[in-house]
Structure 1
Amino acid sequence: MALAGFVGAFWRIPWLLMAYLVGMLVLIILLACLVIFMYMVTIRGSGHIVPSRAYLEYHLEDFSIWLQRRVRGSYKWERIETCLSSTQICPDLNQTYTMAMDFFRAYLTPIEVNPPLYLLILN
């Protein structure tokens, strides 16, 4: 899209500039729709404070009904579980935190709380 705008402006090609402007308008509208969709799906989902834990806990029931059905009916959770079990993240956590309460009280980095995205994409 940017290349079309650059070429249209540099060589003064009006139809290419018009296509660039229309394309950018469409992309901006799609981005706004995505933001509104994400907000509507996750509007009720907020973390709950749990005693003796340093992190917030999230419950699927707090999110929209559509998202709940989508997550529960998805076949991808088995793939994610297989992916996570094949990495060293879980064994490393077991060696770092010998007792469950140590794990619950620890401040976890984002990589420990969430699986690496590149592992989920690869599988």
Structure 2
Amino acid sequence: MARCSNSLLGILNVLTLLLSIPIIAGGIWLSKQANTECERFLEKPVIALGVFLLVVSIAGIIGACCGVSFLLWLHLCVMFLLIIVLFCYTTFAFVVTNKGAGEVLSGKGYKEYRLGDYSTWLQKRVNDNWPRIQSCLQDSEICSPLIQERVPSEQDFYKQELPAFQSGCCKPSNDCKFTYISPTNWTNPGTARSANPDCKAWSNDQNILCFNCESCKAGLLDNIKSAWKKEAILNVATLVFLIIVYSLGCCAFRNNRAQNAYP
């Protein structure tokens, strides 16, 4: 039984090591295939995460299976810090994504998104980095489905359930009261008046549309909020796994010390 925790810890670290290989391969693939600034931005964190998991797993395997107490102690220190960081990050993710939601419009399938409804911290991060984010969104061609789609009438368009990105970045705000021509082509009748600055930011240029609008930033934040909520739930499961691994590591470390002290 004394070696049971060492064996279990070794098996779990082997699984983590195997997991790190496709993560590193994915990061290298991204570096080779990257065509946009967004994709190039992702490659380094992915590779770093894979290498980190690889090194920690190797230290855990050697420490648990070969009785090297120093490596096992190092593994435990890293695991403890990882648990603390992940716990703080998960708590923070729940807090900053607690505010904000799309506004339901009467008679319309899509929602309107307003920047001021979301967390002040998230708003500041998006505003500070908007030129880069905007470039990435345009490169991703998120409005292409609407540009290519043929919707015969305004009423048919209003029935569509648009994702947050498309609702915020690919059409003008409902406040503007523009006249519908096509999903990405709207005209100002001249009588419409609105205090919403997005009305002036809108352009029928298919490369601009509403990418300069506050609603586009809000659409991004709504996507971030949904993604972070899902990630936070996954992080809770990951925390449970890490705590189990850490507990087994503590048992294995105690076994190593007992065996080294036995002579």
Q: TM-score normalised to the size of structure 2? A: 0.36
Q: Contact 1:97 / 1:103 at 8 angstroms: preserved in 2?
A: no
Alignment of 1:50-69 (within 5 A): 50-69=105-124
- Counterpart code for 2:87: A
- Counterpart code for 1:27: L
Residue matched to 2:132: 79
Query: Aligned equivalents of 1:3 and 1:82: distance in 2?
Result: 40
Task: Indicate how the Cα distance of structure 1 residues 33 and 87 shifts in structure 2: closer, same or farther if over 3 A, else same.
Answer: closer
Query: Aligned equivalents of 2:149 and 2:72: distance in 1?
Result: 57
Alignment coverage as a number of residue pairs:
113
Task: Indicate how the Cα distance of structure 1 residues 19 and 78 shifts in structure 2: closer, same or farther if over 3 A, else same.
Answer: same
Task: Indicate how the Cα distance of structure 1 residues 24 and 36 shifts in structure 2: closer, same or farther if over 3 A, else same.
Answer: same
Q: Are 1:26 and 2:81 counterparts?
A: yes
- Counterpart code for 2:149: T
Task: Indicate how the Cα distance of structure 1 residues 10 and 29 shifts in structure 2: closer, same or farther if over 3 A, else same.
Answer: same
- Which of 124, 146, 166 is the aligned partner of 1:93? 146
Please report how far the alpha carbon of residue 21 of structure 1 lies from its aligned counterpart in structure 2 after TM superposition: 1.3
Residue matched to 1:47: 102
**With CA pairs under 8 Å and 6+ residues apart, which has the higher RCO, 1 or 2?**
2
3-state SS, counterpart of residue 109 of structure 2: coil
Rg larger in structure: 2
Please report how far the alpha carbon of residue 66 of structure 1 lies from its aligned counterpart in structure 2 after TM superposition: 2.5
Q: TM-score normalised to the size of structure 1? A: 0.68
Please report how far the alpha carbon of residue 7 of structure 1 lies from its aligned counterpart in structure 2 after TM superposition: 1.4
Query: Aligned equivalents of 2:78 and 2:144: distance in 1?
Result: 48
- Counterpart code for 1:51: S
Identity value in percent: 36
Q: Which runs of 5+ in 1 are unaligned?
A: 116-123
Q: Are 1:37 and 2:96 counterparts?
A: no
Task: Indicate how the Cα distance of structure 1 residues 87 and 51 shifts in structure 2: closer, same or farther if over 3 A, else same.
Answer: same
Query: Aligned equivalents of 1:68 and 1:89: distance in 2?
Result: 21
- Residues 4-42 of structure 1: CA deviation (Å, up to 9, x unaligned): 111111111111111111211110110111111112222
RMSD over aligned Cα atoms: 3.0
- Residues 62-81 of structure 1: CA deviation (Å, up to 9, x unaligned): 22222223323x1x322333
Query: Aligned equivalents of 2:164 and 2:114: distance in 1?
Result: 18
Q: Are 1:105 and 2:162 counterparts?
A: no
Query: Aligned equivalents of 2:156 and 2:100: distance in 1?
Result: 27
With 89-98 and 31-40 compared, the bigger mean Cα shift is at 89-98
Structure with the larger strand share: 2
Residue matched to 1:119: none
- Counterpart code for 1:19: L
Residue matched to 1:70: 125
